Amino acid sequence: MTWLIASNNGGKSRDLAACLAYYGLSAEPYFQTQPHLEFPNETTTSYVENAVTKAQFAANRLGVAVIADDSGLEVPAMPDFLGVTTARDLGVRVGGFDRNQEIIRAMVALPNSQRRAIMRATLAVAWPDGRVITAQTTITGYITRHQIGQYSGGFDRLFWLPRYGRTLAELPDLWRIPLTHRGQAARNLIQQLNEMKGSVE
């Protein structure tokens, strides 16, 4: 079975598909085989509510089970700037590489000790019959002063892991995925799906 990813964000969908595939689950962006969907606007500051709303919407429209993601970057020293609405708020003005530059500029005066950051991911699976399961994970690192790395994009190019001395984007998928918030959430979600499957066999 190939699962459908409920997102119109191509980059995020590819990364989620890679994370799920790493742990043995096949998935692809819904728009590769299904009609385009206009998802409801995100009106909440809850990762779980955002992910569940997207998943339920797509499951009801498409008539199949789907997987949705909501994730964000948080910096405790700047709680009003970075969080669950980071990509949404910055995306109004800038995107991609420039979005990262906006974060770097906003944090330029922060000393290294205050650049600690958290990446959060919530995955939700929804079925047309109303069933929902979720998986949530976080990872901690620091925001760099420059974008570094070529193996992945987005916030991975800013997120430095002290233990490895590299950003996430400097690590190839074989090493990167188990360390990422989305990769760990994918593992958690697949464990739940396998448990559900085992309970009905």
CATH code: domain of residue 57? 3.90.950.10
**Residue of 70, 89, 156, 173 marked active site:** 70
| 70 counts as catalytic | yes
179 Cβ contact partners less than 8 Å away, ≥ 6 residues apart = 139, 161, 164, 168, 171
Q: Into how many domains does the chain fold?
A: 1
Q: What's the pTM value of the predicted model, to 2 decimals?
A: 0.90
Cα–Cα distances (Å) from 168 to 64, 66, 98, 183, 201, in that order, read 33, 27, 18, 12, 39
Tokens of 140: 């901690």
Instruction: Give residue 96's pLDDT.
Output: 52
Q: Which of 47, 54, 45, 95 is nearest to 71 (CA)?
A: 47
* Residue range of the domain that includes 124: 2-200
- Digit-by-digit pLDDT tens for the chain (201 residues) are 899 999 999 989 999 999 999 999 999 999 999 999 999 987 777 899 999 999 999 999 999 999 999 998 888 888 777 666 555 555 445 455 588 888 899 899 999 999 999 999 999 999 999 999 999 999 999 999 999 999 998 899 999 999 999 999 999 999 999 999 999 999 999 999 999 986 544
Instruction: Give residue 191's pLDDT.
Output: 97
